[in-house]
Amino acid sequence: MATVAELKAVLRDTLEKRGALAQIKARIRAEVFNALDDQSEPRPTLPRENLLINELIREYLEYNKYKYTASVLIAGSPCPVDSSITSHGDSIGYS
């Protein structure tokens, strides 16, 4: 009969092979950030350049299928969820 340690090792290996372990860890990180985020404290206003950088990073993460990492970025920064910034760069002063 398998020991608890052996079952844990097999479960961990299976979750790693399927990519589920990384997704679970990213989801936990996002939830911890959400729990620690003080909504009563106002966030500083970011310059337009920073909003553009955040949007580019978010697009990169989503393009490479890092959706859980992108969700942490979106939860932790005032990153626009729509693509109006990159599709209409001139709306923030870039063309």
pLDDT digits (tens, 9 = 90+) for 43-78: 778 888 998 999 999 999 999 998 888 888 887 777
Whether residue 27 has pLDDT greater than 80: yes
Under DSSP, is residue 64 helix (H, G, I), strand (E, B) or coil?
A: coil
Confidence (pLDDT) at 39: 72
- HSE of 42, CA atoms in CB hemisphere, 13 A: 3
pLDDT bin (cut points 50, 70, 90) of residue 12 is very high
Q: For 25-48, what is the mean pLDDT?
A: 81
Domain ranges of the chain: 4-92
pLDDT bin (cut points 50, 70, 90) of residue 91 is very low
Amino acid in the structure at residue 81: V
CB 71 within 8 A of CB 26: yes
